[in-house]
Structure 1
């Protein structure tokens, strides 16, 4: 299937590692120009080298903090200056923070909302004039499937991710007249540094394959997912192949979430 991504330009926040990096790789493989954003220059340099090795493409790396409106505007300006257009924004930056309500102080709430909600707002607003200029485009917000039915000890992430879902639906309605599609993916158990750290702590004697398939994870498909599996879904939603899909949430969690 031709995803219709050749020659388009995509910004991926949190693009130096994990799902963000693999999304950049998939988009570059499909012929898109990719701009990756993260706070660490060294990690960005490594990511650019990986993208080059895997795809032959020269990615643009921008050191930036998604919580900064100025950094968002600077990143968008660099992307357009370098590639002449902007078509796609993948708001991926974020980490998991989960604790009971009485252990989450005001500063933790502010940090989490700044990173996961306002980061998406800053980059989407900065990109909007350019997405309109190309006659439409795509925004994909990375959230979490469990935010639809949050459980105990899931704060503040479940709230900030649920806010990201509401943002997605409202934006999709507001921006549809411009031909701009806005969707979200609900990430479940996907291999990451945090998951790997848990593996080493809980079962250092097990191989990753054995740990990923441990029944205790309660994943209907029987295993923890791979970052590339998430990246492929994100790339699809960002592409012309999903030209009639907007305002929706797609779970990438192996069937673990109890809600659609």
Structure 2
């Protein structure tokens, strides 16, 4: 692999585990310095930073709640103070809860949208001046299969992820030509979960006969963040092994 991201700096939200961790590690492997965000779990974020540093990369912990505009502005400020620039923003932080709609109150609905959708808004707003100054600015939002296919017990998650796809297309128009904005939509990825296997996976199968890995999602993000993807913006890249085929 090349060091195609050498000299660039990335902020990855929700990077303490699973897909976010894999994205942070792969961007670092491409040569980028990485700010590893977690809401409150410093130990997880520090473990990812240690992995990157032990492999010869540069990384810092960026604790902060993406639903808090002041905390997000503080994270971006810390990145700029440490590395002097910010070129890549990956909006990965999310809540992927399941609850029948009849049992969902407004607080449960709002909690998911606050992180997935409002968090992406806060991060993009705070990072915008630095991304514009970069000359290589890119935003990669992490969506999800169900944001396109729908799913039971996930009205809040589906709505947030579908909104993120629309947000991606809108920003691609607003921020062109300086900043590219794309969405990666993972599906059926083998990740560690505290809760039971998601209900919506019961009837889904992939064409490739297996679940994907966080590293395969990270590879797509790394490509979209790199110099060979500067002609790609406003797009959704599905990484789902053929579990969902958009028309």
TM-score (norm 1): 0.88
* Residue in 2 that maps onto 1:211: none
Given candidates 208, 211, 216, the residue that maps to 1:221 is 208
* Residue in 1 that maps onto 2:32: 32
Query: Which aligned pairs between 1:1-260 and structure 2 lie closer than 5 A?
Result: 2=2, 4-39=4-39, 40-53=41-54, 55-177=55-177, 179-194=178-193, 198=196, 217-260=204-247
Cα separation, partners in 2 of 1:3 and 1:216, compared to 1, 3 Å: farther
Compute the displacement of 1:154 (Å): 2.2
Q: How many residues align?
A: 245
Inter-partner Cα distance in structure 2 for 1:4 and 1:47: 21
Instruction: Render the CA deviation track for 1:99-138: whole Å, top value 9, x for unaligned.
Output: 3221211001110111000110001100000111123410
55-64 vs 244-253, greater mean Cα deviation: 55-64
Compute the displacement of 1:83 (Å): 0.7
Compute the displacement of 1:153 (Å): 2.3
Cα separation, partners in 2 of 1:49 and 1:63, compared to 1, 3 Å: same
Compute the displacement of 1:216 (Å): 6.3
Instruction: Render the CA deviation track for 1:23-69: whole Å, top value 9, x for unaligned.
Output: 1111111111100110211111112112223x222311011111111
Inter-partner Cα distance in structure 1 for 2:15 and 2:185: 18
Inter-partner Cα distance in structure 2 for 1:225 and 1:17: 16
- Conserved 8 A contact 1:168-1:184: yes
Inter-partner Cα distance in structure 2 for 1:249 and 1:30: 22
- Structure 1 gap segments, 5+ residues each: 202-214
Inter-partner Cα distance in structure 1 for 2:101 and 2:138: 35
- Conserved 8 A contact 2:204-2:243: no
Instruction: Render the CA deviation track for 1:224-248: whole Å, top value 9, x for unaligned.
Output: 1111111111111111111100000
- Structure 2 gap segments, 5+ residues each: none
Instruction: Render the CA deviation track for 1:77-114: whole Å, top value 9, x for unaligned.
Output: 11111111110000001131223221211001110111
How big is the alpha-carbon RMSD for the aligned residues of Structure 1 and Structure 2?
A: 2.1
Inter-partner Cα distance in structure 1 for 2:186 and 2:94: 12
Q: State the structure with more CA Rg.
A: 1
